[in-house]
Structure 1
Amino acid sequence: MKANPSATSPVRPSQLVEHRVITGILDGTYPPGRPLPNERKLAEIFGVARPPLRETLHRLANEGWLTIAQGKPTRVNDYWEKGGMGVLSTLAKYIDTLPAGFVIHLMEVRSRLLPIIAGLAVEQAPDEVHTFLKAAGKIDDEVSAFVDFDWQLHLYLATQSRNPIYKLILNDFSTMFETFAAAYFSRPEAREASRQYYGDLSAAIPSGRRRVETVVMDAMVQSLTLWKSLNVI
């Protein structure tokens, strides 16, 4: 879930700075192209010392959120233009302030990525994937059971693809997935569609990679349609 500086557990200064800067960027307090207040002012506003403030600002600059140049004001970037995977990882912490359309864009990417991952996994380890999918028939008709199985399937396919980069990409979105998947699987028709998908995927394995990729793509398109009907984000 989103980082929350008001939570009862202690919050490190770096967490507080990240939260205030990122939510400020996402809600328009610090718009792209505009300078942030100087370090002294920000330290006063956030109630933190300047060393952790400076360290956090430089980390966010490395991710693409900010541009820091010696002797010049720190400027807010258009993170869609300047950001990389670090931006996506940080966005995963701020579910409640995601930009409009973000979830749909993310699911569209997923619909292109997962067929490739599944195809590679089946090409590399068809018997192992088939064995894993046998557990799908025993999933309880509960939201949490589907959230857990679906995520573990994602990770397992990424592992069996033999390309560790796919696993790294998915790991960045574990918190975001948990939140979105709970909303998605709260719909009975989503659970039924996924149960059908797991069966179709298992049945497609003997036909090879191309058939598997088609099955996964069809399922991703269906899930995107169902998600849009939720009108959550």
Structure 2
Amino acid sequence: MKERSSDLIARDITRSILAGSLEVEEPLQSERELAAQYKVGRPTIREALQRLERDGWITSRKGMPSVVNDYWKQGNLMTIVTILQHEEEIPDEFIVHMLQLRVSITPAYFKDALENSRLKVVSLFAPFEDIPDEANAYAKFDWQIQHGVAMLSPNPIYLLILNSFKDIYIRMAEKYFSESEHRNASRDYYNRLLEWILAGDIQQAGQTIRDMMETSIELWNQKMNGGTDK
């Protein structure tokens, strides 16, 4: 289906905001100027601006040009969706924020799943021993574990959140697991986690998950800083 002109314009403006070409609190051009720039009518520009405001990117001002929001503070769930549609412009800080989110939610949906379907969680680890020592294989296995456990949680919100991040999750995981040190750390983690799950110690399993999520952030930051923890 061909995209509407207003959607293309909204996407272009969003890309400029993510790239930093349009800064926080910077006013956009007037509707007339934007219409001339994009060679469309003002109703099309107005529709694009309404979408940008709905999704948390700008704030309209009566009789004045719209102004760029600080999307970290003024955005909403649709802001996240839009960021994920612009993978080439995703800020590094977004990935760190997402990893921090994992620290909060991963132990929670694991706990739910283990309390309700522990044996099914164990079965998700069946392919573990046969994983090739390759970044893509580790990324896919990690996603399958997270997705499978979230599905076993009685709270469907966890799965909805995780599904929203699928594409960037796998891309980021492949970059993360490109380091053999990271693959080794994850293999040790999977072994420890599976031991606690088999022992039925949900509390220790949760702590193991939380510790590994924190370690993942440290390792990611080291990778982004060229291998040194700055």
Q: TM-score range by the shorter chain?
A: 0.7 to 0.9
Please state how far the C-alpha of 1:88 moved relative to its aligned partner: 1.6
Instruction: Say which SS state the counterpart of residue 134 (structure 1) adopts.
Output: coil
Instruction: Say which SS state the counterpart of residue 120 (structure 1) adopts.
Output: helix
Per-residue CA deviation, residues 153-183 of structure 1 (Å, 9 max, x unaligned), is: 1111111111111111112212221221111
Instruction: Give the match for residue 187 of structure 1.
Output: 179
Please state how far the C-alpha of 1:115 moved relative to its aligned partner: 1.2
1:211 to 204, 208, 214: 204
How many residues align? The count is 225
Instruction: Give the match for residue 15 of structure 2.
Output: 23
Over 3 Å counting, the alpha-carbon distance change for 1:200 and 1:49 in structure 2 is: farther
Moved over 4 A (4+): 47-52
Structure 2 alignment gaps of length 5 or more: none
Please state how far the C-alpha of 1:196 moved relative to its aligned partner: 2.0
Structure 1 alignment gaps of length 5 or more: 1-9
Q: Partners in 2 of 1:36 and 1:61 — Cα distance? A: 12
**1:149-228 maps to which residues of 2 (within 5 A)?**
149-205=141-197, 206-228=199-221
Over 3 Å counting, the alpha-carbon distance change for 1:104 and 1:18 in structure 2 is: same
Please state how far the C-alpha of 1:38 moved relative to its aligned partner: 2.1
1:66 to 58, 62, 83: 58
**1:14-163 maps to which residues of 2 (within 5 A)?**
14-48=6-40, 50-99=42-91, 101-163=93-155
Q: Which amino acid aligns with 1:182?
A: E
Over 3 Å counting, the alpha-carbon distance change for 1:18 and 1:181 in structure 2 is: farther
Contact 1:68 1:75 in 2 (8 A): yes
Q: Which amino acid aligns with 2:214?
A: V
Q: Which has the higher contact order (CA 8 A, sep 6+)?
A: 1
CA RMSD, 1 decimal: 2.4
Q: What is the percent sequence identity of the aligned residues?
A: 34
Contact 1:66 1:77 in 2 (8 A): yes
Over 3 Å counting, the alpha-carbon distance change for 1:222 and 1:26 in structure 2 is: same
Per-residue CA deviation, residues 10-52 of structure 1 (Å, 9 max, x unaligned), is: 8653453233211221233322223211223223323455555
Contact 2:30 2:64 in 1 (8 A): no
Q: Partners in 2 of 1:103 and 1:20 — Cα distance? A: 22
Per-residue CA deviation, residues 66-87 of structure 1 (Å, 9 max, x unaligned), is: 1135544222111122112221
